[in-house]
Structure 1
């Protein structure tokens, strides 16, 4: 501010992430787009939320505070699927943990109110978007109210924020107040007890109803997701006691010209200099990547991408993409290798419904499940041309495709597979069949496993013709709704028969708003009304995860327990399908002993007895003596006479 001669700023953006001026990060995009619109913007990155003082650092913002927990929901960022604290934070310098609070949107909004009462507070980002209505919170195992009520934000901007945030700034600058903005798309707001909700709104089951009745929670989920197509979505209203939360229709898809403008802004593509030499893992993963599109029409029930970015694909022009690649090629610090050219998926570039008149009415949640819609444009030609041109740019040695390939679409284009295998894969291609069980895949809205098998054969054959020995690396999910031990055993057998030994596996995490989360919480498929089995107990989830890596000695006893529970002792022994041997290997015994020792040293047993530090008992470095008797709570350390 001093260098620019500013005595005030228009907007203060507060984020739970490290500040990175790169178009893969929300604060980078939103800060630049407001700057391009003529506004003064300040970024308050990972402030200490224990005090309102950091919120006063830039002075009173003229227009509003913009609040975001970061690129991820803060609870998913902090905790594993087993609710254990993660050891690192990919969006923080040095991967440090603890630089943002749990449910960061709430304290960030409250501190903004405390710092400057009367300044509008606008919440957004993934966390606020997915919690805009009553939602199931996995970490507390409760149904929580809309984040609007708990954060006291004036508005929540949901979905992608470029268009709404500029409109908000312009209208506030023109003298309008926050109440005047309630006609905007892509925003949610609250009404007081005396306010009347819009007459055209679809009224959802109330917070009190969905909190106590799982059938009504499932019904609300169905209604919400049926109103996500911005071309026909209705306004939603959900009462929380006497207050109403109003959710307007989503923002319309961004145009190609606007996308080109967004990605053509003067990003430095670097973290803020204040981080020095500390690396930020999330930045390292994408710093040399190029986004070519956004949105996903896959509609996977466990994924929030469609909910946040929309299912209508929005693509940049080839000229815009190639201009960015040329700029990368001219950077003296650039390695010459583009780590990824893609987006939420690798091969949906410029794909869209071929019948706009039908698209305007369509409420289908997935354009590719249970099978590919006949009206979907699936031409890979524009993508193939872009891939060819990208690797011919001066200064570019290699262009990788690291975004997930949608396998059912890829098999519709032999040319795409040939191009991919010959030029854009570095030995292994990551794909996500997710499971083998037909019922589980149906709950996920994913193709059957034979789709992956046929893709794998075609990819290997295309690689062979290109003179390369390349393979697919499949990803699978454990404990997804519908998946029981029998389904996971079948998946383990599939892995063994095909020689797959997955290094990384994913446990299902019920993220707010997702359809799969509704199944997890209610045990009901909201669209069919069918009952769905869900593994909720920690031990059940642990057994499912172990089956995905049955070949690891440290998983031996969990795999054995799972097989015995399911009556599949035939898979223990030396048979060709046996998952584990009859006798535990030495490595399994050693791992179990180390695990037991760790639990003892951490004090995880019935009676914790304090131990003195080494040398405290006057015996140098020898083993310390107990300070108390062998029974807890005894006043004297001496034994009582018998």
Structure 2
């Protein structure tokens, strides 16, 4: 049976250790599973022969808590956890969350805000001059000067606030292994400046070992939003392991030097990492606290790939894992599934064979592995690239093999399916088998919106693509006698979404018979292109202005429009329809969203049709945002033409 890594001095004594090499600190509970970044890094270092100890969710109020396992010989590695600590603590409305699935007993408050910074500063207080390396999603997405939604200001690179020596960004196995080797050989941490996938601070730009480009400084992006947008675009363009350059960004009298990304792991390397001796469970010290809820989603799931060329603008994946796909071998996945069938809690169901996007098994095109990803072209949106290789054969063969493993009853796909990519595959076998074998009652996909102008800002395919997918999905379910549903993920208040667009989304939902139970308000998380739009009001891809719904009340109305049937939302929906000059949707027609208020005249206006005078008044048709917007209590509506009169009916 595999053993957990030491979490106390008693554990080290039991192993016969008189000391250890690396201390790994994490803001999550200690879960020894390959879905948890700190567990992967710890096991990679262990496989290299280093002694590694884990300090999970230490009491950040006391420096003594960080010395509980003694001083490590080589250094301290710090991760805020699987997600950004501010996202873990706050909703999109900046309200404090009451639970935390990555903590024992689902208990909130066991890590600090800005966990990476707090932990790193406490390590300095506890150990003084010791090599400190930060990594994980929180550090990765905050590696440059970045807009912080919770403080509503631009913060400098997390490397400076944390006082760390090095920052590892992206998937850090290769960089961490190289850093560890150099520290073990006696190289001072200040001389480790040429490792791909890392950042460091310097005063001399000649310390950069790669071809380089400089983006606007911290001071510039704090005061000039166009400079911020320009910097953001440079950072995205150069985030490529094949053609990307190092990026320099000045912070006062120092330089942030961000080396090019590490190369994606090969299939053999990814197999090796996936099959390290994980226990695949939370540490038993949490049993009496109710366990760690986050394990339930992944305990019987298998990750077969990394990277995502979907490149949605609001998603951090492209800026963290990158756009080049790497995948595991069939044999490795089958070995993992076979091992899962021997788990005492296994009931025959593999919950997922997926990853960031489940149906990506290879780079988007052959050119990517030689020339890198295209600078100014997305692979899928708004339309697929002609060079796209949309062959699902390899993934289909893998799923067929997993279904044949003894003890496996069902194999589901619960991570995202990119439906536009699926439809580019001219061979319909994968779509057919997806419907026949791999849907657990509901298939969740992410059209996100229905207005093509908004979808362009999101980096998503146009709504017609989703509607064609939906029609074929329904036909296949009917063909195979399945009662399976399609659940669309939708987002309100994304940059570019006016109140007219939000009303159009509600009309589309009404017309298609959908009433989503859960909706997502746009959340400006660090580092994404959409967050850049939110902060600057500029699309960094074009440097053109974009409307941004920032007012909390407007955002509440946009969100309410997606759930207009709920009684508690009616007042907000009514107000939103009036703001958008869409009172035609208050009535008794089948396309109306609300009935008239009690006590007022019962209007049967238009039965859902566009009312007379709407076009002549210059009001925007749904999705139309070309006219100059005028702000009304913080909301975007189109500016009516002067002295406009309704046209007479013929």
Same fold per superposition (TM over 0.5) = yes
* Inter-CA distance 366–282: structure 2 relative to 1 (3 Å threshold): farther
Distance 2:414 2:67 in 1: 41
Give CA deviations for 1:482-505 in whole Å, capped at 9, x if unaligned.
Answer: 011110100001101111111111
Contact 1:191 1:197 (C-alpha < 8 Å) held by counterparts:
no
Q: By how many angstroms is 1:109 displaced?
A: 0.2
Cα separation, partners in 2 of 1:388 and 1:361, compared to 1, 3 Å: closer
State the Cα RMSD in Å: 1.5
Residue number among 53, 62, 66 corresponding to 1:51 in the alignment: 62
Deviation at 1:366, TM superposition (A): 2.4
Q: Secondary structure at the match of 2:447?
A: strand
Structure 1 residues 198, 163: CA separation in 2 closer, same or farther (over 3 Å shift)?
Answer: closer
Contact 2:496 2:547 in 1 (8 A): yes
Secondary structure of the 1:281 match is coil
Q: How many residues align?
A: 585
**1:331 maps to which residue?**
343
Question: What SS does the aligned partner of 2:61 have?
Answer: coil
Write the distance in 1 (CA, Å) between the matches of 2:582 and 2:365.
Answer: 47
Shift of 1:349: 1.5
Contact 2:448 2:491 in 1 (8 A): yes
Decide which of 566, 569, 572 is 2:580's aligned counterpart: 566
- Paired with 1:272 and 1:172, the residues of 2 have a C-alpha distance of 29
Tell me the residue number matched to 1:185.
196
**Is residue 2:278 matched to residue 1:267?**
yes
CA distance in 2, matches of 1:365, 1:69: 33
| CA gap 1:199/1:378 in 2 versus in 1, 3 angstroms | closer
Summarize deviations over 1:171-203 as a string: whole Å, max 9, x none.
110111112211110000111479866683211
Residues 364 and 193 of structure 1, relative CA distance in 2, 3 Å threshold: closer
Cα distance change of structure 1 residues 37 and 87 upon mapping to structure 2, 3 Å threshold: same
Cα offset for 1:32?
1.1
8 Å contact 1:226–1:365 — kept in the other structure? no
The equivalent of 2:642 in structure 1 is none
- 1:482 corresponds in structure 2 to 496
Is residue 215 of structure 1 aligned with residue 226 of structure 2?
yes
| Contact 1:482–1:532, Cα closer than 8 Å, also in 2 | yes
Task: Give the corresponding residue for 2:96.
Answer: 85
Where does 1:186-201 land on structure 2 (aligned, <5 Å)? Answer: 186-192=197-203, 200-201=211-212
Deviates more, 1:356-365 or 1:40-49: 356-365
Structure 1 SS opposite 2:434: helix
2:75 to 64, 88, 113: 64
Bigger mean CA deviation after superposition, 516-525 or 326-335: 326-335
Q: Say which of 588, 591, 595 aligns to 1:581.
A: 595
What's the counterpart of residue 565 of structure 2? 551
In structure 1, distance between residues paired with 2:361 and 2:209: 37
CA–CA separation in structure 1 for the residues paired with 2:149 and 2:365:
35
Aligned with 1:505 (options 519, 541, 550): 519
Q: What is the SS of the residue equivalent to 1:66?
A: strand
Q: Which residue of 2 aligns with 1:355?
A: 367
Q: Distance in 2 between matches of 1:198 and 1:393?
A: 49
Kindly state the Cα deviation for residue 372 of structure 1 after the two structures are TM-superposed: 1.7
**TM-score, normalization by structure 2:** 0.88
Q: 1:75 to 1:220 in 2, by over 3 A?
A: same
Who is 1:638 aligned against? none
- Aligned partners of 1:351 and 1:378 also within 8 Å: no
**356 and 568 in structure 1: CA distance in 2 versus 1, 3 angstrom threshold:** closer
In structure 1, the partner of 2:255 is 244
> In the TM superposition, what is the alpha-carbon distance from 1:364 to its structure 2 partner?
4.2
SS in 1 for 2:95: coil
Is the contact made by 1:193 and 1:242 (CA closer than 8 Å) also made in structure 2? no
In structure 2, do the counterparts of structure 1 residues 201 and 79 end up closer, same or farther at CA, with 3 Å as the change threshold?
Answer: same
For residues 220-235 of structure 1, the aligned pairs below 5 Å read 220-235=231-246
Three-state SS of the structure 2 residue aligned to 1:367 is coil
1:365 Cα deviation (Å)?
Answer: 5.5
Q: C-alpha separation between the residues in 1 aligned to 2:207 and 2:463? A: 50
| Corresponding residue of 1:286 | 298
The reply to whether residue 394 of structure 1 matches residue 406 of structure 2 is yes
Contact 2:79 2:116 in 1 (8 A): yes
In structure 1, which of residues 382, 399, 410 is the aligned counterpart of residue 394 of structure 2?
A: 382
Q: What is the rounded CA distance, in whole Å, between the counterparts of 1:19 and 1:233 in structure 2?
A: 35
Decide whether the 8 Å contact of 1:13 with 1:41 is kept in 2.
Answer: yes
User: What is the alpha-carbon distance in structure 2 between the residues aligned to residue 373 and residue 200 of structure 1?
Assistant: 29
Partner of 2:113: 102
- Compare 213-222 and 410-419 and name the one that shifted more: 410-419
Distance 1:421 1:316, change over 3 A: same
Deviations 1:563-598 (A, max 9, x none): 01111111112111111221379xxxxxxxxxxxxx
What pairs up with 1:491-502 in 2 under 5 angstroms? Answer: 491-502=505-516
Asked if structure 2 preserves the Cα contact closer than 8 Å seen for 1:237 and 1:244, the reply is yes
Between the aligned partners of 2:168 and 2:205, the Cα distance in structure 1 is 24
Partner of 1:404: 416
2:312 — aligned with what? 300
Cα contact 2:312–2:460 (8 A) shared by 1? yes
User: How far apart, in 1, do the equivalents of 2:531 and 2:111 lie?
Assistant: 25
Corresponding position of 2:134:
123
> How has the CA–CA distance of structure 1 residues 196 and 348 changed in structure 2, closer, same or farther, with 3 Å as cutoff?
closer
Closer/same/farther in 2, CA of residues 317 and 361 from structure 1, 3 Å limit: closer
Q: Which residue pairs with 1:466 in the alignment?
A: 480
Please give the secondary structure, in 1, of the residue aligned with 2:353: strand
Other-structure match for 2:648 = none
- Candidates 352, 355, 372, aligned match of 1:343: 355
User: Aligned partners of 1:199 and 1:375: how far apart in 2?
Assistant: 30
1:54-86, Cα deviation, whole Å (9 max, x unpaired): 211111111110011100011111000110001
SS, match of residue 436 in structure 1: coil
Query: Residue 163 of structure 2 is aligned with which of 152, 166, 173?
Result: 152
Residue 32 of structure 2 aligns with which residue?
A: 21
Q: Which moved more, 1:178-187 or 1:575-584?
A: 575-584
CA distance in 1, matches of 2:326, 2:598: 53
Unaligned runs of 5+ in 1: 586-642
Find 1:515's aligned residue among 529, 547, 568: 529
Q: Structure 2 regions of 5+ residues with no counterpart?
A: 1-11, 600-650
Partners of 1:441 and 1:194 lie apart in 2 by 40
How far apart in 2 are the matches of 1:223 and 1:265?
37
